[in-house]
Each structure stands twice: as C-alpha cells, then as structure tokens.
Structure 1
C-alpha cells in the first residue's frame, strides 16, 4: 500500500471521479437476482466494517505543538484512504490493512500540520483568489455542482471543510516548492525504472501488456518526479517531528 503524502493530495483521491462519472456495468443485467443480492450484501458488510474503524468526531486523535487534530478530520481522510485502497483492489478492513491505514492517515495528518506550521512560521501566504481558483478547478472535473457535492459527501467532508483544506494544502505546496529540492529525474533514471517494470512483467508473464518505453516516457517521468517529491517531503516531516511536540492518541 502506497504511503499517503499531504492532506491536500489525499483529499483529491477522495473525489471518486470514476465512481461518480461512470455508468453501471451493463453486464450486471445478465447477473442473477441471487448474485446481485449477494454482491449487495457483501458491499453493505464491507461498508459497515469500514465505518467501525472511524472514531468519535470530537476525539483528539493527535496534537502537533498544541494544535489538536480531531476525529472528524481523521474520519474524512480515513474514508478517502479506504476508497483508494478498494480502488487498488485491496481490503481495508483486514487487521493488517486497517492498522496500516490508521498509521498512514495519522502520519499524513500530523505531517501536513507540521508542514503547515512551518509554512506559516516562514510567512508564506495564500490569497482568497488562489483558493477560489483551485476550488473552481476541482468543480470543473464534475458534470455539475450536485455531482461535486455528492463526491464530497462520499469522502465524508463538506464544501467549507474542503475549501479550508485546499487553502492549507496550497500553503504547504508553496512552502514545498520554495524550500524543498527533490532529485531531478534523468533519462537514465527512467530507463532503469522501465527495466524493472519489464523484469516484473516477464516474471508474471505479462510482458505483452507492458507499453513500450517511448509510449509512456512522459508518464514515467511524472510518476518518478512525484515519488522524488514525496521522498523529500517525508524526510522533511521526519526532521520537523524530531523537534516538535507530537502526541498520538489512537
């Protein structure tokens, strides 16, 4: 399971574009009523298990230099992480899966707060115009305003909460852009990365499904740049946490 980075990035994952935009699979028309009922039952059981992992919205799940992170925020991000886990074909309700998600969500919330506090300390600012533009960009990914609100509801958050987190995320992004320097991705790096993909594809006898290097070169570079950025962000969070007063309560 991939590590979660900033809260802003994770909230983007919560906006389930595919789930909100796609039509139902027509093959389900051919499924028997019994199969449909069984599938529905399994979905309901999964949803119940995921909801059981949530905490009291008013509970303080962690504190960062005296700033409290509440259960409401934790639950919202946990819901997003659970959805992403399912989209990756994983089960977020197993003992190991649930523990890993909890640890990642807490790490993400604490890490984001540490970066946010550092950005404020260094006097970075975000204008209302920048926040409004980012909000509008998010809304434009959806068919209409109702679809956007449905996605927010599915992620366990409101438009006002999302807007506030966008502002925090933009402030963190400004700080990261100015203060952190991820490793540059070179052609050799990309080829080495692709060679490893090719090796894994051969081992799983799926080499025919692997796109050619030139066809995914730009995508590889973007992926590797994001990974390098995540690496330096996590390193910075670890550095900040050493000198911070951080308490985990769950």
Structure 2
C-alpha cells in the first residue's frame, strides 16, 4: 500500500461504503490515485484549479453534524471530507448538487465511524505514536506533495493525522476481520473476461499478481460493505444538518 495516497484511500472508502456508490467508482478512484501520485491530469500535466467550498456549504468547526451511537462528528471533520468529495466529482465531471454532496459526506463519515467503533470493540487501537510515525514517513517521502495536498483540501496537520488514524484503523480492521482468498481459477476467469475486451493485454503469467490483487480488493470491499451494512442496522445515527 502506498502510504502517501491518504486522500485517495479516504475517497476509496467513500466509494465503497457511501450509499451513493456505483459499480464503476473503484476504477475512477484508481485513476485518481495515479493522477495524484504523478501530479498529472488528462490535459497534459497541468493541475486543475483548486476546488473551493462556499461559506454556505461549510459547517462551523465545532458544530455537530451527525451522531453515531452517541459519538458526535463535527464540522472540523465534515468540511475537509466534503471538499474531497466535491473535488473528486469535479475532476470526473460528475454533476452533483450540494444536498447530494452533503449526504454523501455524511454517509462516508458515518461509515468510517462505525468501522472505528467496531474496531475499538474488537481491541484494535492506533496510538498517537503510530500515527506520528506514519505521518513522518509520508512527510519524508514527499513533503512538497503533502503540503500541496494540505493546502488543496484546506487541512491542518491535526486534521490530516485524524484522517490518517482512520486509515490505519481501517487497514488493521481489514487485516484482522477478513481472510480473503483468491483462487487460480478466479484469476484465469477474470483474465479471459478482460482478454475478450482487448487482445493486447499481455500474457496471463505477467498479469497474474496484479489480477489477484484486484480480485482481493474487490472481495474485501464487498465484505466490508456487508459488515458496515450490518453495523448500521443496529446503530443509532442522528443527523443535525
């Protein structure tokens, strides 16, 4: 896992878990990961103008947005998440109005909170030292990119670390809770499907590891979706905006 792509990972969770997620969102997020990592876009390398949110779209940092089983999520977490989703929709020319975007953001935050709570119940914890170590690694590997991302998404370091903690918790949760297996037959079947679409994809032996990873991620996402759906059925969620 590329530790730098924290924003893309957060958006991946949005696509996998938000109620609005579509079947093809995973491919879009993968494309965005590549663009963010390389600093390129389809227009030949120029970064698009930063997306902004209006004062009307923002929520006061200390205002409660939603409560999940008694734990409040406030504007300081909502605003950067909202901006990320708005940026993604803009990059992929998705026409989403403010109300839809607000609901997508709330869904993403609720789902992440449910994962965090279930992880905590199962003894999965991420210490401040672990978060700081991961942050230091990211900063060492690309300080300029990190600063650009913080500016683009209007984040301070504490907000970034909060998102990083969520990602570390989710990674440990997935590793602990789901034992995902991919068979050789599944890899071969997948290869046959994509080969039907293009004869120039290369040999199976060259693509086997990549296909296996793709299938594992798909299965993991499906299991995570089912788990979150089950958690949500028993959860008490109150929205305040």
Q: TM-score, normalised by structure 1?
A: 0.69
In the other structure, the counterpart of 2:69 is 65
Cα displacement (A) at 1:64 = 0.4
CA distance 1:112–1:94, change in 2 (3 Å): closer
In the other structure, the counterpart of 2:171 is 173
Distance in 2 of aligned mates of 1:124 and 1:62:
23
Cα displacement (A) at 1:241 = 0.9
* Count of residue correspondences: 216
SS of the residue 1:114 aligns to: helix
**Partner deviation per Cα, 1:80-120 (whole Å, 9 max, x = no partner):** 23444455xx213345x983x54443322111101111222
Identify the structure with the greater helix proportion: 1
Structure 2 counterparts to residues 56-205 of structure 1, below 5 A: 56-58=59-61, 59-87=63-91, 90-95=92-97, 99=100, 102-142=102-142, 145-182=143-180, 184-199=181-196, 201=197
Distance in 1 of aligned mates of 2:56 and 2:94:
10
Task: Give me the CA root mean square deviation.
Answer: 3.7
Distance in 2 of aligned mates of 1:162 and 1:146:
15
**Contact 1:119-1:175 at 8 Å conserved across structures:** yes
Of structures 1 and 2, the one scoring higher in RCO (CA 8 A, sep 6+) is 1
In the other structure, the counterpart of 2:21 is none
Indicate the structure (1 or 2) with the bigger Cα radius of gyration: 1
SS of the residue 1:61 aligns to: strand
Show structure 1 runs of 5+ residues with no match.
29-39, 202-206
Greater mean alpha carbon deviation, residues 64-73 or residues 74-83: 74-83
Q: TM-score, normalised by structure 2?
A: 0.71
Cα displacement (A) at 1:52 = 8.0
**Contact 1:82-1:92 at 8 Å conserved across structures:** no
Show structure 2 runs of 5+ residues with no match.
1-10, 19-28
**Contact 2:82-2:102 at 8 Å conserved across structures:** yes
